[in-house]
A = this chain, B = another copy of it.
């Protein structure tokens, strides 16, 4: 039996669960006697090309370190946004990139290559495995998905989504308490990440299953109509003083134009540049202008993708599991594929891992189905919330020392 080394990289925007998947891949590889050293590429394929590696076999030498890594947010290995050229390119410099990658793979005696990331990363896996096939290399290339957006095709849901959804839903339930204290008419707009798909914004509706949710929820899947929005807010604020609204950063009008691009307020900053407001602040402006009541915007911003202190236990456990499953795939000889989730049938939630093809992943955005959104397009349905609820179940609380979470940091 031939013993080979393995290399793992992380790419794209970080999540609270991407390190759990990294730990899972290492856990899976460690079980096999086919693997000698497990390398981590620092800053993805960009670091790989510079041979910037760390030794994960050494760094993850205890159960304690594995657990600490699994509860540390963001990409411990660093990330990059580098897109490798088309494998069919005839350009000299493009061909050189492939030569270089396979030279390095040879030099480090790599037999198994893993890339944890979004659709660009899955595209990298597809290209490298296609090239390997072309040149007769038997190196195995396997991708593992991650994204807080939950918009990848070929998997029921994505690692990282559940934890982001739990942060959004939890803080939404807390903000509903916060905004309810005054009798003054006020509109609070909460802007949630998600340029093309509304999965994360839909999760803001989850408190409705327990008690009360946001009054209005707007996803990018339905065209946003400013007049209807103002009408909805006007009607609601007649009945209760505090309105809270979840809105996706990616909502667009019926012509496909982003709402954040609609207003030219004429305001300029100190340097004379036109001030570009976000989606939340744009509709806040409409509320102030057309209704005249108090309005404010809360942008959940970076916190929604790194709040590991309130990660979903379901998500973290599944993220470890899919990493380990990806290792199994490569070790059993699979290549050019992605590890994915399959949700079990029936009302009790269950989830298994499976092998998925890569062809459909790279350029497809999985959207929230229309039937998960109410007819008016201003909230999600109970069916949608019940579908999402299992993803945020359980709390993955990190260890705290002196009041702060203990983190696994690779220097």
A177-B299 contact, Cβ under 8 Å, with A392-B404, A402-B389, A403-B169 = no
CA distance A409 to B173 in the complex (A): 12
Interface string of A169-180 (1 = CB under 8 A from B): 111011101111
**Within 8 Å CB of A291, what residues of B?**
none
Q: Does A301 contact B (CB under 8 A)?
A: yes
On whether the beta carbons of B178 and A209 are closer than 8 Å, the reply is: no
**Within 8 Å CB of A179, what residues of B?**
302
Shortest A262–chain B CB gap in Å is 6
**Within 8 Å CB of A183, what residues of B?**
43, 46, 78, 80
A178-B302 contact, Cβ under 8 Å, with A210-B404, A394-B403 = yes
Stretch among A60-68, A304-312, A322-330 lining the B interface: A304-312
Q: Does A3 contact B (CB under 8 A)?
A: no
Q: Does A255 contact B (CB under 8 A)?
A: no
A303-B298 contact, Cβ under 8 Å, with A79-B181, A182-B81 = yes
Shortest A310–chain B CB gap in Å is 5
Stretch among A263-271, A332-340, A357-365 lining the B interface: A263-271
Q: Does A223 contact B (CB under 8 A)?
A: no
Stretch among A22-30, A69-77, A96-104, A127-135 lining the B interface: A69-77
**Within 8 Å CB of A209, what residues of B?**
402, 404
CB-CB contacts below 8 Å: A361-411 with B: 389, 392-395, 397, 400-407, 409
On whether the beta carbons of B405 and A170 are closer than 8 Å, the reply is: yes
**Within 8 Å CB of A282, what residues of B?**
269-270
**Within 8 Å CB of A262, what residues of B?**
270
**Within 8 Å CB of A10, what residues of B?**
181
Q: Does A118 contact B (CB under 8 A)?
A: no
Contact among B43, B166, B182, B269 with A78 in the assembled complex (CB-CB below 8 Å): B182
**Within 8 Å CB of A308, what residues of B?**
174
Q: Does A45 contact B (CB under 8 A)?
A: no
Q: Does A207 contact B (CB under 8 A)?
A: yes
**Within 8 Å CB of A170, what residues of B?**
309, 404-405
Q: When A and B form their complex, which 10 residue pairs have the shortest distance between CB atoms, in order from nearest?
A: A392-B403, A74-B177, A178-B306, A79-B181, A263-B270, A174-B306, A393-B403, A298-B301, A74-B178, A75-B181
